[in-house]
């Protein structure tokens, strides 16, 4: 999810990533460090503020995202196989209410 967040918004901050993936900042920092060591991400110095770094997804990171995305879509297809569209719409409404209640 972190790699996908960076791909979708290359200027995203670690705090924004944490909020988007429902993790605390410390966890996101550790995960990013692992992704850099695994060569899925690179850190580049921010030209506007040298104290900051920009996260850039590597080709290897893009490849792994595509593999995972294919797996996710297949699993989702299997999971939703016998569920009607109306049931999905009802579930979506209920989940949105739960999220609003927790916000």
Q: Would you place residue 40 in the very low, low, confident or very high pLDDT band (cuts 50, 70, 90)? A: very high
CA distances for 80 relative to 60, 97, 101, angstroms: 30, 21, 26
Q: How far apart are the C-alpha atoms of 36 and 58, rounded to whole Å?
A: 9
Over 90: is that where the pLDDT of 47 sits? Answer: no
Provide φ and ψ at 58, rounded to 5°.
Answer: -80, 170
E strand intervals along the chain: 41-45, 53-57
Over 90: is that where the pLDDT of 52 sits? Answer: no
Over 90: is that where the pLDDT of 53 sits? Answer: no
pLDDT in tens, 54-101: 999 999 999 999 989 889 999 999 999 999 999 999 999 999 999 999
Over 90: is that where the pLDDT of 46 sits? Answer: no
Provide φ and ψ at 71, rounded to 5°.
Answer: -65, -45
Whole-structure pTM value = 0.71
């Amino acid at each position: 999810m972190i790699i996908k967040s960076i791909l979708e918004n290359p200027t995203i901050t670690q705090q924004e990533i944490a909020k988007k993936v429902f993790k605390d900042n410390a966890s996101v920092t550790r995960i990013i460090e692992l992704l850099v060591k695994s060569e899925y991400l690179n850190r580049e110095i921010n030209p506007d503020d040298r104290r900051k770094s920009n996260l850039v997804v590597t080709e290897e990171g893009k490849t792994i995202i595509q593999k995972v995305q294919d797996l996710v879509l297949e699993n989702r297809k299997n999971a939703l196989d016998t569920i009607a569209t109306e049931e999905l719409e009802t579930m979506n409404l209920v989940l949105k209410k739960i999220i609003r209640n927790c916000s």
